[in-house]
Amino acid sequence: MDSKYIIGIIIAIVIIAGAYMVFASGSNSNKITIAGSTSVQPVAEKLAQVYMQKNPNVKINVQGGGSGVGIKSVSEGTVNIGTSSKDLSANESTGLNQNVIGKDGIVIAVNTANSVNGLTVTQLKDIFSGNVTNWNQVGGANAKIDVITREDGSGTRTAFEDLILNKTAKIKADAIVQSSTEAVKQSVKGDPNAIGFISLVDLDSSVKALTVNGVTPSEQTVSDGTYKLQRPFIFLTKGEPKGAVKDFIDWVMGPEGQAIIKSANVVPAK
């Protein structure tokens, strides 16, 4: 066979292979995976939906799992963005870049039939640690208090423990454990004697939000600091974000992304 013909075939193969690699690389670079906090998840999903509509070449997949999963996954490089609804410890934050996209309130939720309208931080500590076990001890009906909590590794639980229990007490051992804010809300909705904590993002008319120290949870009271039960919503990347991930985070931190965050009842970072 003519050597020039063979060389031509080799060159063609190299060009095709190179083009395929460029295409494949470009395709992968436009896929963004996000996982972590179930409180951040609905906000991240809204952001992703709008961003993909504006940038149809970018595909964003958003999953939950909890803040612990988000921190672990992004640290190990199995996702592009990890999400957390709690401040990271020094050990957790090693090698990670943090973008606080907003602030969220932690709502104390009870059944809509509950006559109690508000509790103090001290009362909440006593209820969740098991020192107070009947609603009549805090002005309610004569009924056992059913405590609903989140699983270990939940950013919402960690933030709640830091803010309410203050590392001087633990959530009672027989508390009912749920794996998402939605699951907590459904438990409270279905149990007239239940109490739990959920994200302000997830608050709706199916449950009743209690005042804490006389302050109603809202975007305004979280923003002005009068409602003390609040925590950050964080996007995490392994090192500085690059490429499509950087473009997406820049958009989230910009005016359009922050407006979407505000519409989700989260206090914008900017």
Do residue 62 and residue 168 come from a single domain? Answer: no
Query: Is residue 152 pLDDT above 80, yes or no?
Result: yes
Looking at the domain assignment, is residue 221 inside a domain? yes
Do residue 65 and residue 153 come from a single domain? Answer: no
Q: How much is the mean pLDDT over the chain?
A: 91
Looking at the domain assignment, is residue 143 inside a domain? yes
Do residue 136 and residue 242 come from a single domain? Answer: no
pLDDT bucket at 168, cuts 50 / 70 / 90: confident
Q: Evaluate whether 215 touches 227 at the Cβ level (below 8 Å).
A: yes
Segment 182-210 mean pLDDT: 97
pLDDT score at 3: 52
Do residue 247 and residue 212 come from a single domain? Answer: no
pTM for the model stands at 0.78
Do residue 162 and residue 193 come from a single domain? Answer: yes
Looking at the domain assignment, is residue 124 inside a domain? yes
Sign of CA dihedral 199, 200, 201, 206: positive
Segment 61-72 mean pLDDT: 96
pLDDT bucket at 86, cuts 50 / 70 / 90: very high
Share of the chain above pLDDT 90, in %: 86
Inter-CA distances, 240 with 5, 8, 70, 95, 259, Å: 48, 43, 17, 9, 24
Do residue 132 and residue 225 come from a single domain? Answer: yes
Query: Is residue 173 pLDDT above 70, yes or no?
Result: yes
Segment 202-208 mean pLDDT: 96
Do residue 217 and residue 141 come from a single domain? Answer: yes
Sign of CA dihedral 219, 65, 86, 229: positive
DSSP 107-161: EEEE-TT----EE-HHHHHHHHHTS--BGGGGTS-S-B-EEEEEPTT-HHHHHHI
Looking at the domain assignment, is residue 62 inside a domain? yes
Tokens read off for 39? 């409180």
Looking at the domain assignment, is residue 26 inside a domain? no
Do residue 191 and residue 127 come from a single domain? Answer: yes
Looking at the domain assignment, is residue 15 inside a domain? no
* CB neighbourhood size of 209 (10 A): 19
Do residue 152 and residue 67 come from a single domain? Answer: no
Query: Is residue 187 pLDDT above 90, yes or no?
Result: yes
Q: Evaluate whether 253 touches 262 at the Cβ level (below 8 Å).
A: no
Do residue 109 and residue 97 come from a single domain? Answer: no
For residue 152, give the CATH number of its domain.
3.40.190.10
pLDDT in tens, 15-45: 334 433 333 334 457 999 999 999 999 999 9
| Phi, psi for 175 (deg, rounded to 5) | -65, 145
Looking at the domain assignment, is residue 16 inside a domain? no
Number of domains in the chain: 2
Inter-CA distances, 155 with 126, 185, 212, Å: 21, 16, 20
Range of the domain at 62: 31-103+235-268
Range in 6-15, 99-108, 148-157, 183-192 with the lowest mean pLDDT? 6-15
pLDDT in tens, 213-239: 999 999 999 999 999 999 999 999 999
The residue that leads in pLDDT, 18 or 115, is 115
Do residue 209 and residue 110 come from a single domain? Answer: yes
Looking at the domain assignment, is residue 6 inside a domain? no
- Which 8-state DSSP code applies to residue 259? H
Do residue 142 and residue 156 come from a single domain? Answer: yes
pLDDT in tens, 241-267: 999 999 999 999 999 999 999 998 899
